[in-house]
Amino acid sequence: MRRVSWFKKYSTILIFSGAIGIAGSLGHNGLLQTELWFADWAQEITGPRAVPKKVVIVAIDDFSLLQAANADLSDHQTIQRLQQWPWPRSTHALVLDRLIEAGAKVVGFDLLFDTPSSYGRDDDATFADSLRRHAGQVVLGVQALSSQGPIAGLSLLDLTPDLKDAHPSIKRGLLNGRPDPDGVQRRLPGSTSIEFGQKLGQAVPPGMASALLNDKPLPVKAGLSLLAPYGPPRTIPNLSIWELLEPKAYASLKQSGKLQDAVVLIGPTAAVFQDLHRSVFSGSTGMPGVELHATEVANRLEGRSLQFLPPMPGWSLVLATLAAALGIVIAGIERPLQRLGIAAIGTGATLLAGVLLITKAWLVLPLGSIAITIFATGIVSSADATVKLQWQRRRLRKTLGRYLSPAVAAEIADQPDHADGLFQGQLVNVVVLMSDIRNFTAFTRSMTEQGEVRRLVERLNAYFTEVVEAVHAQEGTVDKFIGDAALAVFGAPLQRSGELNAQAGVKTAIAIQERLNHLNQHWIANGQKPWEQVIVLSYGWVVSGNIGSNSRMDYTVIGDAVNTASRLEHIAKQSNRSIVMSEAVAELIGDQWPLEDLGEFPIKGQKPQRVFALQTVTTS
């Protein structure tokens, strides 16, 4: 009888602990992932840490690409050849020569040279000459490619023969990394060479970091060796590759001594290269692949990596036993909040121990799942106590209700729920497009007097349909309709480069103009008056996100670029031009379309700026 009473008393916590044991045994990978997430969190909350000196990234960044796009303005012939990617390999030869000249100890290229140069064999020969001169100080990247389909396998994207045979001492480094199932890159990229080497044999070189530091491949150990990152992207010192290409900037860089005895990695960091990987500290932005390799280099120089000991087989039974024992112990406490408080203290102590082990001893033990188990046990136990207390109070109120007023016996504990709207936003640079019908107020008055309000709405709907289709065709976002005006943005929520957004905005403006011409032909054929419109384009920052109340929210943009567009609309009407843009948009599109300089105009809240009109309205 006592046993039955005991099981009945602790039934909730026993069922919960049993569920943990079953769930853990069926979801061992989930336990493993939990511990990895805990390790990520521990590193991120402790913040960035110092990077070993003499690890430098030479970044092919957005600034360099922007400068290269305007390379035709340079007096230097080498720079003039950089207007499109891929750059000539003679450029990489120049960069390598200058890095070694500036004192770099060893240079690694996080780039693939698996095909002959598109600039001809002389271009490859120039690079090969540089490789021969610095054969012992350079590592070139190669990559293992996984093929899919009926005949799946691995192949190696090796160096093109002209480069591979340049010198027998030229080293290669494998660029592959293997993300975890959640898509986060945590493991040392160098460990991937061991896995691929088992499939492809000795043809697989060591990882990039290992090749740069002349290390042997990492030995297979119990547990996993993880990267120990230093902080968000660009925590490891970054130099724009443009500083090596532009003569004056290079002279200053060389004199600074920043590259003396440095281990240098050259690689892309601009988003357009799509070499961004989810990693610790990276958030949704992603970490450039070259920075992951640089992190491994820095870890090796420190002589450490983050050692992860995953949960052992049967770990779920350990967690189930912990939950049962803790639940039984705190069951002697009647008040739910006290039970939860004890569990919270235990959880905090476990998390603190885990964080200290990770950040001080570079060791990840399965403490994350222990902390979760402790806290979950506290929640279940306090919930069980709450239910039992409420049941007891209900029975008491029912009993007292026979003698007392229900209003006296009952206690009102509920509180109104005040839900606030979600205001999650981001600050981005976008191209704003605003279209507006000329003299629409007079047109509306005329059609209203003629009793043709319905036809007016039909015409507006037809016009806005064309606007929406034109905007969507260029991957823009229709923000809102304001009377006869339409507001669209390019670059939010899907972010792209300013150049692409400006091109999309101009193409959309031209398309809207052409679509209105077709509508006008149809309306004229039906005896209706045509419409004229103005379209303006501006570029600048906006805040984008869900804005509104808890009962109604809209995705919209507010900010400088929207205000500028509104000002440009008046300028367009005054100058009698159909498509008008700000100076910033004109600079982004360059000479792709003929523009007319309308002069400088005052812009409310901003400094005066030049305004341009598009001289053509055709997409050909």
Query: Are 513 and 473 part of one and the same domain?
Result: yes
In this structure, of 26-35, 287-296, 503-512, the range with the lowest mean pLDDT score is 26-35
* pLDDT value at 422 more than 50: no
Residue 169: CB atoms within 10 Å: 12
If one compares 72 and 212, the residue with the highest pLDDT of the two is 212
> Quick one: pLDDT band at residue 148, thresholds 50, 70, 90?
low
pLDDT tens sequence across 599-610:
888 877 778 889
Q: For residue 448, is it within any domain?
A: yes
What is the pLDDT, as a whole number, of residue 406? 44
Return the CATH number at 571: 3.30.70.1230
pLDDT tens sequence across 334-356:
788 888 899 999 999 999 999 99
Query: Are 264 and 336 part of one and the same domain?
Result: no
What is the pLDDT, as a whole number, of residue 398? 60
* pLDDT value at 98 more than 80: yes
Q: For residue 418, is it within any domain?
A: no
Q: Are 585 and 575 in contact (CB under 8 A)?
A: no
The distance from CA 419 to its chain's CA centroid, rounded to whole angstroms, is 30
Q: Are strands 138-147 and 106-112 parallel, antiparallel or unpaired?
A: parallel
For 475-498, what is the mean pLDDT? 85
What is the pLDDT, as a whole number, of residue 537? 94
* pLDDT value at 28 more than 80: no
* pLDDT value at 149 more than 70: no
* pLDDT value at 438 more than 80: yes
Q: For residue 347, is it within any domain?
A: yes
pTM: 0.60
Question: CA dihedral defined by 587, 590, 591, 596, rounded to 10 degrees?
Answer: -20
Query: Are 389 and 466 part of one and the same domain?
Result: no
Query: Are 454 and 388 part of one and the same domain?
Result: no
User: Rounded CA gap, 492 and 429, in Å?
Assistant: 8
Rg (CA), the chain: 33
> Quick one: pLDDT band at residue 417, thresholds 50, 70, 90?
very low
> Quick one: pLDDT band at residue 147, thresholds 50, 70, 90?
low
**Structural domain of 52:** 47-308
* pLDDT value at 586 more than 50: yes
Query: Are 250 and 155 part of one and the same domain?
Result: yes
Of the three residues 308, 336, 354, the one that is the final residue of a domain is: 308
For 551-573, what is the mean pLDDT? 82
Query: Are 293 and 315 part of one and the same domain?
Result: no
Q: Are 619 and 506 in contact (CB under 8 A)?
A: no
Two tokens, residue 579: 């498509």
* φ/ψ of residue 397, rounded to 5: -65, -35
H or E element, residue 620: none
* pLDDT value at 22 more than 70: yes
Query: Are 80 and 15 part of one and the same domain?
Result: no
* pLDDT value at 184 more than 70: yes
> Based on the structure, what is the number of domains in the chain?
3
For 400-405, what is the mean pLDDT? 37
* φ/ψ of residue 172, rounded to 5: -120, 150
Of the three residues 308, 326, 347, the one that is the final residue of a domain is: 308
Query: Are 481 and 363 part of one and the same domain?
Result: no
Q: For residue 417, is it within any domain?
A: no
> Quick one: pLDDT band at residue 396, thresholds 50, 70, 90?
low
Query: Are 489 and 588 part of one and the same domain?
Result: yes
User: Rounded CA gap, 218 and 179, in Å?
Assistant: 18
What is the pLDDT, as a whole number, of residue 415? 33
What is the pLDDT, as a whole number, of residue 305? 84
Q: For residue 40, is it within any domain?
A: no
Task: Work out the burial of residue 344: count CB atoms within 10 Å of its CB; fewer than 13 is exposed, 13-18 middle, 19 or more buried.
Answer: middle
* pLDDT value at 195 more than 50: yes
pLDDT tens sequence across 498-551:
899 999 999 999 999 999 999 999 999 988 889 999 999 999 888 887 776 666
For 481-485, what is the mean pLDDT? 85
What is the pLDDT, as a whole number, of residue 89? 93
What is the pLDDT, as a whole number, of residue 553? 65
Of the three residues 308, 324, 355, the one that is the final residue of a domain is: 308
* pLDDT value at 400 more than 50: no
Q: For residue 39, is it within any domain?
A: no
For 383-401, what is the mean pLDDT? 68
In this structure, of 42-56, 217-231, 345-359, 566-580, the range with the lowest mean pLDDT score is 217-231
Q: Provide, rounded to the nearest whole percent, the portion of the chain with pLDDT above 70.
A: 89
pLDDT tens sequence across 234-254:
999 999 999 999 899 999 999
Q: For residue 620, is it within any domain?
A: no
What is the pLDDT, as a whole number, of residue 156? 82
Query: Are 518 and 541 part of one and the same domain?
Result: yes
Q: For residue 416, is it within any domain?
A: no
Query: Are 471 and 403 part of one and the same domain?
Result: no
Q: What is the DSSP string of 338-406?
A: HHHHHHHHHHHHHHHHHHHHHHHS-EE-THHHHHHHHHHHHHHHHHHHHHHHHHHHHHHHHHHTTTS-H
What is the pLDDT, as a whole number, of residue 618? 47
What is the pLDDT, as a whole number, of residue 508? 94
Instruction: Count CA within 13 A, CB hemisphere, residue 16.
Output: 23
Query: Are 402 and 449 part of one and the same domain?
Result: no
Task: Work out the burial of residue 609: count CB atoms within 10 Å of its CB; fewer than 13 is exposed, 13-18 middle, 19 or more buried.
Answer: middle
